[in-house]
Structure 1
Amino acid sequence: MAKAAILEKPGEGLVIGEVEYADPAPHEVLIDTKACGLCHSDLHFIDGAYPHPLPCIPGHEAAGVVRAVGSEVKTVKPGDHVVSCLSAFCGHCEFCVTGRMALCLGADTRRAKGAEPRMKRAGGDPVNQMLNLSALSERMLIHEHACVAIDKDMPFDRAAVIGCAVTTGAGTIFNAVKLTPGETVAVIGCGGVGLAAINAAKIAGASRIIAADPLPEKRALAEVLGATHTVDALADDAAMQIIDITGGGVHYGIEAVGRQASADLAVKCLRRGGTAVILGMMPLDCKVGLSAMDLLGGKKLMGAIMGMNHFPVDLPRLVDFYLRGLLDLDTIIAERISLDEVNKGFDKLRDGHSARSVVVFD
């Protein structure tokens, strides 16, 4: 049995309860969870903005230690330190074989209908797994293609935030847009994802890195992580400020919060030929578009789910960046809390005044 934070009804927070885990199937890995970051994507399900079968366990940004593996697992072994990633990949679909693993729907990485569930309550009722992981639990039972082994010198709390926020933000810079040194970036929204994008843009050699956020404390964090300029995202002239700073607009406008207004700002601040990248989970009825003049100016719009990562390769490299002092994960983490404090942690996330909260398991 393991203690977990369970979502029973949207809008009513999480309930701490006991969950029983099945033995690993041939390609599955049982992990003792050591740390799990709290992400806005979880909130979309917890608050009911996005649907999900219930009851379920949220959490998808985690690190831990492999406890046991199935008979066919080749990639990790008991005792390995691992980071999990929600973009579990099958390895043989069109997206996987063309190098776009983040787009894989991962059907083969879930248990078949009618099979014994991975998780259930003490009474035998199944508990649904969210985003292939359900990491707000003392254990995770996941497919081997949803985790990767990392250097054991890496602290678990910092490793956890690599699993989503950093993979998405940094992956957008390194993978999705392949930023060339000297190009310019505006990042709208300075939460965990946005701060990681800013840090990665610094590593990649961007000449101007503009952080746009309505909160002064978030803009201050962005400067620590590499922003060369900051702008109040709610200012009437926010787009013009960014255009003036860059002498014509940015090469990349990155939306990292999931709001219509921030997506519109990412488009408005582009230079000719620039690209707006939408990372946030916006309300399902939102639309982002380019005008006729934008199109005549060669501007582009794209999504970059999970930073278009190749996580078995990317995550160990990001760990190496941290251990070498290039990637600043310490600034991204605002607090470390226990699982019993998870609802308070999500309340802070809703308020939006601090960066990442990380649940740390003993």
Structure 2
Amino acid sequence: MKIKAAVLQAIGAQRPYQQSQPLVIEELDLDPPGDNEVLIQIKAAGLCHSDLSVIDGNRPRPVPMALGHEAAGIVKIVGSGVTDLAVGDHVVAVFVPSCGHCTPCAEGRPALCEPAAKANNQGTMFDGGHRLHRTDGTAINHHMGVSAFADHAVVSRHSLVKIDHRLPFCHAALFGCAVLTGVGAAINSAGIQAGQTVAVVGLGGVGLNSVLGALVAGASEIIAIDVDDQKLALAKELGATHTFNSGQPKAVENIKAITAGGVDCAIEMAGSEKALEFAYQITRRGGITVTGGLAHPDKKVAIQQVSLVAEERTLRGSYVGSCVPVRDVPRYVKLFQQGKLPVDRLLSGVLTLDEINDGFEKLAAGKAVRQVIEFT
């Protein structure tokens, strides 16, 4: 079938993106779903820093690539072998499908699925093939097995979680990445316990979800940290007890002073090695520092090695919030519907597909938290 999709031609385009136009809306041929695959009509897709990091080269991927990985839509066709989804079901796309058989999957860690990681790095579907082509037959690479900046997509059954049909698509899309990654980092990776003190460094869409996750987990103090005062104000509205601009002098010392030496848990979501060093510095003796920010592969972190031993510190990575999507997406949706996880307040704007380059410029400039493209 013919679809319209936003295709990244080359990485490293110069800003502003309204002028360089790194994403081009193209008409592509989309193959029908194969075994254990599903055709979905995309209804909403979020603009995420993980997409931006491909555009600016911080997360190199093969091009040309149809971008987009955070989405919600409606099942249109189910391929052979798919028995637990039906036409008309509403679904959220998750950007790491789980094979269920590799070592991480067998350990209950589907975010680390090895065949999925290989396919995502290569820009292919789960089986190593492509479903997107130009009219001349040129294959278009897939982004995270989803390629959601399009009106339709063929995805692995293992990339989809069925959701309540009453959930608005513009909100549902956020559960595929921002909510899973941010809330999951607080609840699963950090294991925040009631009464603990928590800091979140980097208040984009994912970081603000970590603030919400810390609230749900029962943290007694939540310190929100960023260089953008507007994001700090939003974090305060969402429930952060303290805010700090990390660019201010003695920010580390001041945070330690109000937490008796540091927080129990610091979560870094800025995707910066300096932000991770900052988060580590404000973590108390015996505490845990969690990082879910994706910096450029060449970036290195400098920490005092002896502190890991002498202070029994923990430094932990968090990918997809250490989530089990089929378990956690429905849980987080219920919390949202109960008013306990107000992720809708993170929605900065709704765009059309034609406005996608403008949207990414706003994201790169720090002028948006989460924007969503809606498809009619």
For normalisation by structure 2, the TM-score amounts to 0.93
**What is the deviation of 1:74?**
2.8
1:221–1:331 CA contact under 8 A, matched in 2: no
Correspondences of 1:146-295 after superposition (within 5 Å):
146-291=159-304, 292-295=306-309
Q: Structure 1 counterpart of 2:262, which letter?
A: G
- Over residues 12-34 of structure 1, what are the superposed CA-to-partner deviations in whole Å (9 max), with x where a residue is unaligned? 51000111111111100111000
**What is the deviation of 1:141?**
0.6
The residue number in structure 2 matching 1:121 is 134
CA distance in 1, matches of 2:290, 2:249: 22
**What is the deviation of 1:179?**
1.0
1:309 aligns with 2:310: no
2:30–2:133 CA contact under 8 A, matched in 1: yes
**What is the deviation of 1:323?**
0.9
Q: Structure 1 counterpart of 2:190, which letter?
A: V
1:54–1:128 CA contact under 8 A, matched in 2: yes
2:3–2:29 CA contact under 8 A, matched in 1: yes
1:88–1:143 CA contact under 8 A, matched in 2: yes
CA distance in 1, matches of 2:238, 2:211: 6
CA distance in 2, matches of 1:345, 1:105: 32
The residue number in structure 2 matching 1:104 is 113
**What is the deviation of 1:111?**
4.9
CA distance in 2, matches of 1:201, 1:111: 34
The residue number in structure 1 matching 2:103 is 94
- Segments of 5+ residues of structure 1 without an aligned counterpart are none
Deviates more, 1:231-240 or 1:158-167: 231-240
1:359 aligns with 2:368: no
Q: Structure 2 counterpart of 1:316, which letter?
A: P
1:242–1:249 CA contact under 8 A, matched in 2: yes
CA distance in 1, matches of 2:342, 2:62: 36
The residue number in structure 1 matching 2:39 is 30
- Over residues 239-268 of structure 1, what are the superposed CA-to-partner deviations in whole Å (9 max), with x where a residue is unaligned? 122212222211111110101211111100
Q: Structure 2 counterpart of 1:193, which letter?
A: V
For normalisation by structure 1, the TM-score amounts to 0.96
**What is the deviation of 1:288?**
2.4
Percent identical: 41
1:37–1:356 CA contact under 8 A, matched in 2: yes
Q: Structure 2 counterpart of 1:9, which letter?
A: A
Distance 1:22 1:265, change over 3 A: same
The residue number in structure 2 matching 1:54 is 63
| Length, aligned pairs only | 360
The residue number in structure 1 matching 2:93 is 84
The residue number in structure 1 matching 2:72 is 63
Q: Which runs of 4+ in 1 moved over 4 A?
A: none
CA distance in 1, matches of 2:47, 2:109: 26
The residue number in structure 1 matching 2:48 is 39
1:184–1:250 CA contact under 8 A, matched in 2: yes
- Over residues 255-307 of structure 1, what are the superposed CA-to-partner deviations in whole Å (9 max), with x where a residue is unaligned? 10101211111100011111111111112122224411343111111110110
Q: Structure 2 counterpart of 1:143, which letter?
A: S
CA distance in 1, matches of 2:162, 2:126: 22
- Segments of 5+ residues of structure 2 without an aligned counterpart are 14-19, 120-124
**What is the deviation of 1:87?**
1.4
- Over residues 78-109 of structure 1, what are the superposed CA-to-partner deviations in whole Å (9 max), with x where a residue is unaligned? 10100001111101111011111111123497
The residue number in structure 2 matching 1:298 is 312
Q: What's the Cα RMSD here?
A: 1.4
Deviates more, 1:340-349 or 1:75-84: 75-84
1:217–1:353 CA contact under 8 A, matched in 2: no
